[in-house]
Amino acid sequence: MSRSSDDNNNISSRGEEFLQIFKKGADFTHELLKENERLRYRMLKLEESIALPDDDEADVSHEAMQLRLKIEELEKEKEEILGRVRKVEEENEDFANRYVEIEEENNMLANLYIASFQLHSTLDFKEVLQIILEIVINLIGAEEFGVLLLDEKTNKLEPVASEGVSTSALPSIPVGQGIIGEATESGENYFIDSMTGYQRDFEKPLVCIPLKIKEHVIGVVVIYKLLVQKDEFNSVDYELFTLLAGHAATAVFSSRLYSDSERKLSTIQGFIDLLTK
């Protein structure tokens, strides 16, 4: 009897133990469910917090895009401005070069004005020749040269003035003969191909400029040597030669005509005086 009561007690205590364990299991399960719920809530919160930066990123990328566009626009503008600056600089350089050219041209015209003014300032034949010599020395830079005028009776060029060489040493040249004669016939300026190694030859000058009134040649200026500091002709010289040739020709022609008429006048006056006495 006592053995069966012990067994009953044992069974009831084990049952209680089991109940205790079951309770603990139930509590644990309950706790797990709670934890699960808490974690799910946490996850939801986290998902929400993760979802928010997506919008921010969109904003940021939009802003970045706008900034990129702005940069591109500014880059374009910068290129455009740099292009304009380059263009202005080029224009400036052009203007500077043009200014120098105009200045040179202006100087040449001023010189030519003075030269023609001087040439037409007198009707004295010798004075005109002297002015021609001065112009060729000072404006062209010639050291040895001569002026030959056409004698229409003999159709020959006769030397009338010179610098650096004796006038009497210069030859008479028939029209059409040699470089000087041909230049007189054609009315075209002659320039030697190369000045290097040139040896003075009165019939082969460095330069021969016909003095023309329209197409009528009345004489020539022949150059044999340039000043030491002048080793070649520049573009201004060629223009100066051509323009000068016309002015010198009319000055020579009119002064010679005036001298002739003066001489004739005094001869006639002499006759009249003789007849009336």
Partner 1 sequence: MDVYKVLVVEDSPTMRQLIVFALKRIRGLRIIEANDGVDGLKKLSSDTFDLILTDINMPIMDGLKLVSMVRNNPKYKEVPIVVITTEGAVEDRERALALGANEYITKPIQTTQILDAVKRLLSL
Alpha-carbon distances of 233 from 129, 226, 239, 269, rounded to whole Å: 23, 9, 11, 50
Alpha-carbon distances of 219 from 208, 226, 248, rounded to whole Å: 10, 21, 10
Pick the closer one to partner 1 by CB: 217 or 223.
Answer: 223
Q: Which amino acid is at 170?
A: L
Q: Give the separation between CA 149 and CA 137, rounded to whole angstroms.
A: 19
Q: Give the separation between CA 180 and CA 140, rounded to whole angstroms.
A: 19
Sketch the per residue contact string, 45 through 84, with partner 1: x for CB under 8 A, - otherwise: ----------------------------------------
By CB under 8 A, residue 143 contacts partner 1: yes
CB 261 within 8 A of CB 145: no
By CB under 8 A, residue 179 contacts partner 1: no
Element (H, E) at 211: strand 207-213
Site residue total, partner 1 (CB under 8 A): 23
Shortest reach from residue 96's CB to partner 1, in Å: 14
Q: Which amino acid is at 106?
A: N
Of residues 96-135, those binding partner 1 (CB under 8 A): 103-104, 107, 110-111, 113-115, 117-118, 131, 134-135
Tally of CB atoms within 10 A around 258: 15
Beta bridge mates, 210: 220
Of residues 219-238, those binding partner 1 (CB under 8 A): 227-230
Six-digit token pair at 141?
A: 């830079």
Shortest reach from residue 141's CB to partner 1, in Å: 3
Q: Give the separation between CA 209 and CA 154, rounded to whole angstroms.
A: 21
Pick the closer one to partner 1 by CB: 50 or 228.
Answer: 228
Q: Give the separation between CA 204 and CA 115, rounded to whole angstroms.
A: 27
By CB under 8 A, residue 184 contacts partner 1: no
Shortest reach from residue 69's CB to partner 1, in Å: 54
By CB under 8 A, residue 138 contacts partner 1: yes
Pick the closer one to partner 1 by CB: 180 or 252.
Answer: 252
By CB under 8 A, residue 147 contacts partner 1: no
Pick the closer one to partner 1 by CB: 137 or 179.
Answer: 137
Shortest reach from residue 149's CB to partner 1, in Å: 20
Query: Footprint of partner 1 on this chain (CB under 8 A)?
Result: 103-104, 107, 110-111, 113-115, 117-118, 131, 134-135, 137-141, 143, 227-230
